[in-house]
Amino acid sequence: MSTASEFYHLTTSSAGRLTLFDTETVLRRCVTALISRIRTTGLMFSLVDDHFHYVLEGTREEVGLIARAVSNSIRRLSGRKLSPTYIQPVESRRHIARLIEYLALQSERHGLLGHPALYTGSSFLDLIGARACGFPATLFLKFPRLRRAQLYETVGLAPPLSELSLDALRGESAERLLALAEAIYAYGGDRGSQPDTSRRVRRLVAGVGRALEMRDEELSRILGVAPRSVRRYAASMEVRAELPSGCRALLTRYLLEQSVQRAKASQAAN
């Protein structure tokens, strides 16, 4: 058996091609589970409809072990039986380029509603910094000529020109802030099964909300906690000139959503 580290494209489908991700909550939980299994070896991924793709670096034996662990996690969370994983070697830099486009546009290929740039099951969000689930942008380290602007172009968008600043969020509601925070942490809304993620969401919303001079009472209502808890969460995440990673991801997500809205408006006008 080869001990050389190579790139592999893995594909796993549900048995009988039944839908794997019935709800947004299930999809988010599967995304975080996949990331936890492949964060040290993964380059990109896409979970869509009745199957999921991911690209790993490692030996054939290492990749096989990771594939089994991933399938066990997705099987448990989706409640579906899975077919054996198909493992294909990635043969060239051109092959990687094709996979970047193929995975980024999976939701569009399967006719799912919404812009592919905002699709929860795609690592596009992680690679451009619009999600904070711990999936590193290893793809750019392995392929240093690749630029984030190229990823934006793949989904038909121009990269944002605005610098990341909390001022961009002024005038937005606490509800919008919460939705952004839940999206960047892929939070499925269940504190029982995702307690750490729930705390990260509340800490970020409280910290950013108070930095934007939102009232503690408004934030406590949205977060379902007492006003004193809002102050405690905010104190644990000081928003400084050097923005914390959660703030940066939240702002990147916000600018991405605006970019998608502009693209839709332009398309409707033509």
pLDDT at 244: 84
* pLDDT band of 237, cuts 50, 70, 90: confident
Question: Among 38-47, 103-112, 216-225, 227-236, which is the least confidently predicted range?
Answer: 227-236
pTM of this structure: 0.94
Q: What is the CATH number of domain 6-153?
A: 3.30.70.1290
Q: In this predicted model, what pLDDT tens digit does every residue of 42-96 receive, in sequence order?
A: 999 999 999 999 999 999 999 999 999 999 999 999 999 999 999 999 999 999 9
- Average pLDDT in the 102-121 region? 95
Give the start-end residues of each E strand in 23-151. Answer: 42-48, 51-58, 86-89
**β-strand 51-58 against 42-48: which pairing, if any?**
antiparallel
Q: Are 127 and 139 in contact (CB under 8 A)?
A: yes
H runs (alpha helix) in 17-59: 24-38
- Using an 8 Å Cβ cutoff, are 134 and 39 in contact? yes
Q: What is the DSSP letter of 127?
A: H
Helix, strand, or coil here: 136?
coil
